[in-house]
Amino acid sequence: MKTKTLKKNKINVVTLGCSKNTFDSEVMMAQLKANKFDVTHESTEDDAEVVIINTCGFIDNAKQESIDTIIRYAEAKKDGDVGKVYVTGCLSERYKSDLESEIPEVDAFFGTRELPRLLKTLKADYKHELVGERLLSTPSHYAYFKIAEGCDRPCSFCAIPLMRGKHVSTPIEELLHQAKLLAAKGVKELMLIAQDLTYYGLDLYKKRALANLLEQLCLVEGIEWIRLHYAFPSGFPMDVLNVMKNNPKICNYLDMPLQHGSTKILKAMRRGITREKTEELIAHIRDEVPGIALRTTLIAGYPGETEADFQEMYDWVERSRFDRLGIFSYSHEENTHAFNFEDDVPQKIKKERSDLIMDLQSGISHELNQKKIGKTLKVLFDRVEGAYFIGRSEFDSPDVDNEVLLKKEGNYVRIGDFENIHIKSADHFDLYGDICSK
Ligand code: SF4
């Protein structure tokens, strides 16, 4: 084993999975920094004494990626390239005892709500006065903003409640405090996230409070864009649409995972809504908030999904013309309700069906993008890549949606700034344009 000089006080945090994990890692990093550790996020220097891996345990691919990452650092530890390896997050919450026996090189495993114990293991204190503080891992002009943890929904395929527990809303005062801290650091865009955003407040205030929260967040100086992710269709709080309509700070954008387009499958999934009611809801949202960009997520190959069920979903996607869409192949997850049924759709068919929907969506996205040519869009610039400045309009969330590309040659924009861009051309997922002359 070669000996390598590792920085004793240095901790490298590695985040896998969704934006909620990103949020949790950022909270953890702020605590570590306040305890005088030298904290990095996904550093490639490989000179940190300690590595903390924040894992994902959602579905097969994500679980495999987490296991591969743990094994990679366990090997690095054997080679003397890392001193200590700690694992936290959803995979650890869900499979702690299996992981402890299968990967003994890991120094300790922690659950999704065990930050204080993790800090104690590092001989650090959990600093309550830091509540709301984060060390951002995103570009400094936008931040994920978790408004609640856990989920009370009974969706048959989903293991998230097993890993994240029951729904717990964060009090509005605390969220406003967090938003002000972020704005003071230069954050202009907040991506509101939760397992089920629209459930916000039902536990704490015994009523849906997302609309109220949004109205108050709109008053936070410095925040210019507020984006809604992970809305749930059944029991959708319509007052949110009024707030969206009346507040230009709230992006004309809504992410609402709908999971399937066949009422038979939606019932089997225990989603509490039919396809017909879903279509009514979408039509109502589009009426109430004209020009809104709708993002959704679907699952292909759920147990019992026949060719006819799939065709019903395909036709529904064709009719619904979502602005943004992602699809997963069904993953047979232990301890979920769906695990009681036979996983009878072959993997090959699941993949074929997912690909068919994505091909269809790619065509829809291309058509919708053509309609943006000649329009002027307010764009927030995120990065420089090759010959382009790359940004997003209010219709696009980072990492998952379309982008707006501005040639570097002859132009200058500061990353983190807004510019009005006149759209000149478009392809399936990107728009190209010029700065509007002031
Ligand atoms: S709403 Fe359904 S799919 Fe989403 S986290 Fe909750 S149980 Fe899972």
Report, in this order, helix, strand and coil percent for the chain, each rounded to 5.
35, 25, 40
* Res 131: pLDDT: 82
CA distance 388 to 385: 5
Q: What's the predicted TM-score (pTM) here? A: 0.95
CB burial string 93-131: b at 16+ within 10 A, e below: bbbeeebeeebeebebbbbbebbeebbeebebeeeeeee
CA distance 381 to 190: 15
Rounded to the nearest angstrom, the distance between the alpha carbon of 158 and the centre of ligand 1 is 6
Structure tokens at 124: 């650090």
CA distance 25 to 52: 9
Q: Residues in the chain with pLDDT < 70?
A: 1-4, 437-438
Rounded to the nearest angstrom, the distance between the alpha carbon of 57 and the centre of ligand 1 is 14
Q: Which residue's CA lies nearest to atom 8 of ligand 1?
A: 158
Closest ligand 1 atom to residue 161 Cα is 7
Rounded to a whole number, what is the distance in angstroms from the first to the last CA of the chain?
A: 63
Rounded to the nearest angstrom, the distance between the alpha carbon of 153 and the centre of ligand 1 is 6
Q: Which residues line ligand 1 (CB under 6 A)?
A: 151, 153, 155, 158, 160-161, 195-196, 232
CA distance 241 to 170: 22
Rounded to the nearest angstrom, the distance between the alpha carbon of 156 and the centre of ligand 1 is 9
* Res 179: pLDDT: 98
* Res 361: pLDDT: 98
CA distance 285 to 228: 14
Closest ligand 1 atom to residue 153 Cα is 7
Helix-helix angle 172-184:210-217, to 10 degrees? 30
Rounded to the nearest angstrom, the distance between the alpha carbon of 196 and the centre of ligand 1 is 7
Q: Under 8 Å CB-to-CB from 275, ≥6 apart: which residues?
A: 260, 261, 262, 263, 266, 312, 316
Is 224 strand, coil or helix? coil
Closest ligand 1 atom to residue 232 Cα is 1
Distance of CA 404 to the CA centre of its chain: 20
CA distance 370 to 428: 9
